Every structure is written in C-alpha cells, then in structure tokens.
Chains A and B, each alone.
Chain A
Amino acid sequence: MKGKGSWIPLLCVLSTAVLANEYVPLPGGPFHSSLRFGNGGDKGVVAGYQLMSKPVREVEFLAFVETHPQWRRDRIPGLFADAGYLSHWESPLAPHPGTLNFPVTRVSWFAADAYCRARGARLPTWLEWEFAAAADAHQTDARDDADRRRRILTVGTPGAHRAAGESEPNVYGVHDLHGLVWEWPWDHAGMMAAADNRNVDTESPLRYCGGSALAFSDRRDYAVIKRVALLSALSARTTLFNLGFRCAKELP
C-alpha cells in the first residue's frame, strides 16, 4: 500500500506537530471548491496562508479566558454566545482535567474570532479550510479518492469528537480536519450567499430539498455537503458540543 520511504518524513512531522499547536504554511494555489459560488469564485486561486496544525485545545482556550475574562462563560454577554457556551466545563475556569487536550467545543463564532485575534491571527475562510482539508497524507488534492471519501463521510459521527485526535497529518502537516469536530470558518455567515444574488428563490438554496443539489459543484462530496449544511445553519452566537475552531494567519 504505502512505499516504505514515505514513513520517514511522516514521523518527523508527527514528532513536532503533536507537541504543540503550531502554524504550518500552506502554499495556496488554483483550487476548485466543492461549493458553487454565484460569482464563479469556486474556480479560483487560494493565496498562501498559515493554519494551526490542530484545532484549538481546551487547555489553550482556558489560558485565553484567564487573560481575557470578558470571554468567561459567566461574564460573556448573551449577544456573543448562547447558553451552551463552555457549559461542559466544571466551572468558568475549569475544564474537565481529563479533556484538557481535546479540541475546545461549545464556543461561539465571536469567541473563536476573539481568540484568534488575541493571538495575532484570524479564523480561516471556508476556502482556506477546504483547501487544507482536500489534502491527505500523500497528495494536496485527494478528493477524488473513493476510499478516502468513504472514510471521511463516516467519521464525524456522534462521539467522534470525544477523542483527543492523533490522526496522521496531511501533506502540509495539518491534523484532524476531518473526523473530530466541525470547525468555524471566518465567513460562515456568507458562505452560501452569492455575491450578486437578486433572485430570492435561490437566496438560501440549502434550506430546500430540491435546491440543495444546486449549491454544490461536486454533488458527490457528501462530507463537504454535510458540513456546509450544518455551518450554514449557524448564527455567530451558536455553540455546539461538536463545533470547535482553529486559527489561520498570513504567511510571514
């Protein structure tokens, strides 16, 4: 299946990436999104960027709320997060000791956005997320691999997020884009809206049964369809037990 030689570089990546949540560079390039954008932006070019190798962990988010107490669950205004915000923690400054290295979940877009900005970063756009998530351990765009399609469609089922996640990194050194938690993109609110959409009938194509097939340029990429259907239902204050985030920033 795999050439022997491929293990050596992989192990090198693993040994560094597992220790800390580092940013890894992604070169960008021409990219065909599985989503259909009204302005033709689905066949565009993604500029180079950096992305966190793993989703932000509970221990990292704890450090953030300790230094930015306005984002504690007992102080955050209801405008910025619903009642589920960090509700699984034992107290406002105490995640469960056993899950410190799990991806943080039950965070709103506002909180995720604030976290990234406090770290000199930002949330990745959907296209940046999708660009990174198209890669597997061997190629930058593995979306036509039928076995992989099967695998990433069946992961992300209930309970998957409870694992700490130590999956093989992709060619860029990014872990766990599939199979652990859903992740906030920076532009979640606009990802389904066309740039110039005057037809109210197609304003929210995902919400209707027949229209749903029209919003995707790759109608077999169910892993992406499933994810986008969920993301497009979110409002910026929503929190979910299986929704986390990671940050991105520009190339140095």
Chain B
Amino acid sequence: MNGCTTGKATAEAPLPVEQAQLTAPPLVPPPISRKGPAKVVVDLEMVEQEMRLSDGVTYEFWTFGGTVPGSFIRIREGDTVEFHLKNRHDSHVAHNIDLHAVTGTGGGAEATFTLPGHKTQFTFQALNPGLYVYHCAMAPVGMHIANGMYGLILVEPEEGLPPVDREYYVMQGDFYTEGDHGAPGLQPFSLEKAVDEHPTYVVFNGSEGALTGEGALTANAGDKVRLFVGNGGPNLVSSFHVIGEIFDRVFYEGGSKYQENVQTTLIPAGGAAMVEFTTEVPGNFILVDHSIFRTFNKGALGILSVDGEMKPEIYTGQQFSGEYPEAEGGR
C-alpha cells in the first residue's frame, strides 16, 4: 500500500463495511451522511404469516421482513451491496428477490432461489440513483406479489437528497380474496379475480386503515414532507393524490427529473415516485388512489395529520353556510 500513488491507493482502498438499517413501513431509515461509497450488508428474511387485511379480515401474507410492504432499504449510488436473503423455516414455498435497482440477470432473482430454511447471497453495485421496487419473482410470480412480496429500495444520488423535515414510506397494493370486500375471517387468495384484475382490496401499506387512526402519518404545519411512494401492484396502476395538497415536486417514476406543481401522479405497478410538498396549514390530508372507487369501496385511503396554527390567508375553512333566496321568476 505504501508504494502506491495516492490516487491508486484511494481507488483500491477497501470499502468501509456497514450493516444496512432496515425499517418497517411507514418509517424510512435516516439519510446517508457519508460522502463516499461503502460495502453495505443487507439481511432480509422472508416470512409467510397471517395478518390483518381489514377489520375482522385476515390474509396469509408472504412478506419481506414480516411487513407489507417489505422493509425499506436505503443505500447510496456507487455502494456495493452484499445481499443476504433468508427464507424462514416455516415458509411453505421457495422465494427469491428481484430488485429493480440491480443491473444484472433477473435483478438478483436468479441468484436468490431460496428454499424454506435456506439462505442465499449475491452482491451488486448500485449504478443508478433512484427509488426502486423490489419483489419476489418466484413462479407463479403474480401470486407471490399479490400476497404482499414487494417493497422499496432507495439509491440516494452521490450528492444526497435535499434535507426535509419528514420522510415516509407508502406503498399501494391490490389484493384478491375469495370473499367479498369485508367478508370476515381468513380470506384465501382468489386466482380468478387476480387473473381478471378485479381486486377485492386496494390498500396502502398492506391493510385497510394502516395509515389511519393510530397509524396516520403526522407532520407540523410548515414541514417539508417527502413521501416515498411505491406501487406493488400486482395489477393496478395508481392515480396517487393527496387531498388538499399540491405536490411541489414529483420525481416521477422514481427517476432523477422532477415535475413541479402536480395534483395527481401516476405510479405504475412495479414502479415508484418521490413526492415532496410543504404542509402550509393544519388539517387531515387524505392520501388516495384517485381512481376513486378504490378509495371509497376498496380501502385505498390514508391520512396525513398536520398540526399547527390556522393560516386564514391561505385557507379559511368554512366562512358561511345557509340558504340562499330562490331567484325572482325562478322555476
């Protein structure tokens, strides 16, 4: 090492090694502060388990990390990622992972054919910054995705993302059950409805009401908010909208360019978007799929609860409610 030129020594110096901190939705790991690449070790376990889909309704979910969507992974452009994938011993089928952030065969799927009770490993370099979906690609792939096997991996650009006050992880998915919407009990997967693309549930973060009540996202008036929004599908394309907010910036399709002043953004199945806005006034701001029957009849509804002082110069709330006189000579 001592004999090398400075430039070469830097290029060949071993990368610092760190363990990726994974988070369950709607939380996001903290921004990456280091200024150079690292070797990042990701440990992710695939778990099949019965969880709540709606009030009184459960489903046998297949998951990355025990949640739907799966654990959020945050790395930096240029990082070398050593990916360890485990399939829990009580899983009943094999799984794998296709990360859209990977440049290579199958996005890692061909390297991670993982039986129950087994683990696999592969390494990739994150060449492109962006917000990427990952999902299980094991046959029958649609069923693995329909059962909840998807999540997001963020590859921060080298310069990082501009600081904001709040970051959240929201991912839409469509679910297909034998029983109708609301039919109680453990609901089996309906292959017919999935093939016909007629979902029983369309939800954010794996269950109806995951982002309401105790689960509502929170912010203070004046906060800059960044939402990492994914769409696992398997079938539907999302018309993502936040009622009462205008997105200052949308990094559409999870890419590097942004559009400004957007009302509703389209998120493809197997795609993502970063949306940023400032919460000017307090209130409950409702996250919806503006393909709106999905919100009112299938569950695609979340809440961002914003605290703070009213700002009547921006929004007054109701100023008058009453009858008005029928016009003279009216019908």
Instruction: Using CB atoms and an 8 Å cutoff, list the residues of chain A in contact with chain B.
Output: 84, 146, 149-150, 153-154, 156-160, 204, 206-209, 212, 215, 220, 222, 225-226, 228-230, 233-234, 238, 240-242
Contact = CB atoms under 8 A, between A and B. Distances in A.
Contacts of A157: 48, 60, 92
Contact of B113 (A156, A159, A207, A226): A207
B143 A226 contact: yes
Given A222-B140, A225-B139, A156 B92 contact: yes
A220 to B, nearest CB: 7
Nearest to A238: B115
B47 to A, nearest CB: 10
A242 B48 CA distance: 14
B117 A229 contact: no
Nearest to B60: A157
A229 B91 contact: no
Nearest to A206: B139
A226 B116 CA distance: 14
23 contacts: A84-B117, A150-B178, A153-B188, A157-B48, A157-B60, A157-B92, A159-B90, A160-B92, A207-B113, A208-B106, A209-B106, A212-B139, A222-B140, A225-B140, A229-B93, A229-B94, A230-B115, A233-B94, A233-B114, A233-B115, A240-B116, A241-B90, A241-B117
B57 to A, nearest CB: 15
A222 B115 contact: no
B140 to A, nearest CB: 4
Interface string B80-111: 00000000011111101010000001100110
B191 interface: yes
Contact of B110 (A208, A229, A230, A242): A208
Given A150-B191, A220-B195, A241-B116, A209 B92 contact: no
A229 B90 contact: no
Given A84-B117, A206-B139, A241-B117, 17 more contacts: A146-B192, A150-B188, A157-B92, A160-B92, A208-B105, A208-B137, A212-B137, A212-B140, A225-B140, A226-B139, A226-B143, A228-B139, A229-B139, A230-B115, A233-B114, A240-B115, A242-B92
Nearest to B195: A220
Interface in B152-197: 178, 188-192, 195
Contacts of A206: 139
A209 B191 contact: no
Contact of A222 (B60, B92, B143): B143
Contacts of B188: 150, 153-154
Contacts of A222: 140, 143, 191
A166 B105 CA distance: 44
